[in-house]
């Protein structure tokens, strides 16, 4: 083989290797650009999701604060209602104690009077109840008897 053929083969091989190296470099640049673009998209998506997560976190904190505030209000109302009920119970106990003391004084002043008073008060209240029923039952029927219409409409 002639030397010029060998030189030609070597030159063609070097050119092919150079073209192959250029093609690989271009492919790497294109792949790098694609990766950078994809990375930018991921960063934008991360920013959007981060902002959304922050909004949701703020809404959750606000909701939790509102729930705590409502719970505190309910606890305060409950505490006030319990306090009022306790005051009423104390007041009722004081009234009952005062009533017992007055009964005891009345018994000392007039022994046996409280028993009579209790019996007559019980009979009177039952009698008043019966008298009230009689008064309702004794109301006058309209004149003319039950068969005749009483007042009101004139048409038949």
Q: How many CB atoms lie within 10 A of CB 114?
A: 15
Which residue would you say has higher pLDDT here, 121 or 37? 37
Model pLDDT, residue 151: 54
Question: Among positive and negative, which fits the CA dihedral 142, 143, 147, 149?
Answer: negative
Model pLDDT, residue 137: 46
Model pLDDT, residue 113: 79
What does the alpha-carbon distance between residue 120 and residue 126 come to, in Å, rounded to a whole number? 10
pLDDT tens track for 46-101: 999 999 999 999 999 999 999 999 999 999 999 999 999 999 999 999 999 999 99
Model pLDDT, residue 136: 44
Model pLDDT, residue 81: 97
pLDDT tens track for 112-139: 877 776 666 655 554 554 444 444 444 4
- The answer for residues whose C-beta is within 8 angstroms of residue 114's C-beta and 6 or more apart is 103, 106, 107
Q: C-alpha 3: how far from its chain's center?
A: 97
Model pLDDT, residue 50: 97
What does the alpha-carbon distance between residue 100 and residue 88 come to, in Å, rounded to a whole number? 18
Question: Among positive and negative, which fits the CA dihedral 35, 41, 42, 44?
Answer: positive
What does the alpha-carbon distance between residue 129 and residue 15 come to, in Å, rounded to a whole number? 127
Q: pTM score, two decimals? A: 0.43
Which residue would you say has higher pLDDT here, 113 or 103? 103
């Amino acid at each position: 083989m002639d030397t010029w053929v060998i030189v030609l083969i070597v030159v063609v091989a070097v050119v092919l290797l150079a073209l192959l190296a250029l093609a690989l470099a271009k492919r790497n640049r294109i792949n790098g650009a694609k990766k950078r673009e994809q990375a930018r998209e991921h960063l934008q998506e991360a920013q959007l999701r981060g902002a959304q997560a922050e909004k949701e976190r703020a809404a959750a904190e606000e909701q939790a604060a509102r729930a705590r505030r409502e719970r505190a209000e309910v606890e305060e109302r409950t505490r006030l209602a319990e306090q009022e009920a306790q005051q009423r119970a104390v007041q009722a106990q004081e009234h009952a104690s005062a009533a017992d003391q007055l009964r005891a004084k009345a018994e000392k002043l007039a022994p046996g009077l409280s028993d009579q008073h209790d019996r007559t008060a019980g009979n009177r209240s039952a009698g008043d109840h019966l008298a009230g029923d009689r008064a309702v039952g004794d109301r006058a029927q309209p004149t003319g008897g039950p068969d005749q219409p009483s007042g009101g409409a004139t048409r038949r």
